[in-house]
Every structure is written in structure tokens, then in C-alpha cells.
Amino acid sequence: MTKPKTRADLAHSLDADWPPHQPVTLMDLIDEARAVGWDFITWCYASGHDASDPDARFRFEALLAYAKAEGRTGLH
């Protein structure tokens, strides 16, 4: 016979797999930004970042700079 789960056991088990952790690579982020035409606001919406967050703006600018250095921006 198994031990019945307590409320604490259920709360822990429900959160154990949330949010799902999927690795995101730098190239995935660059591909997302390229897909929205390197538009910051659209990228924030698509990626779940807050457009008013200065860290999100810095992250986006860093992605753009990296992609430009690698020649992968798709911008002419």
C-alpha cells in the first residue's frame, strides 16, 4: 500500500516540472530576433521579455552586435 500524498507533497510535485526548462542557445535567440526583423518591441513580445526592462534592451543590443560581428544579421 502506498502512502497517501499530503498537501505539501502535492504542491511540490505540481511545481517540480514547471516552468519547463529547455536549453536556449545564442543562435536560437539570434534566429528569433532575425525572424522579427530585428525589431526590439516585437522581439520582446515574441520572446517574453519586458520591453521596459533595461536588461532586455541590453540583451537585444548584445544579440544584434554579436550577429553583426558574425555576419548573421540578415541586414544589408
Ranges of H-type helices in 1-76: 7-15, 26-35, 40-47, 54-70
pLDDT in tens, 19-43: 566 677 878 878 888 888 888 888 8
Going from N- to C-terminal start, the domains of the chain cover: 21-70
Residue type, 37: G
Question: Taking the model in full, what pTM does it have?
Answer: 0.58
Give tens-digit pLDDT for 51-64.
999 999 998 888 88
Per-residue pLDDT band at 76 (split at 50, 70, 90):
very low
Q: Which long-range contacts (CB under 8 A, 24 or more apart) does 31-38 make?
A: 33/60, 33/63, 33/64, 33/67, 34/67, 34/72, 34/73, 34/74, 38/64, 38/73, 38/74, 38/75
Res 35: pLDDT: 80
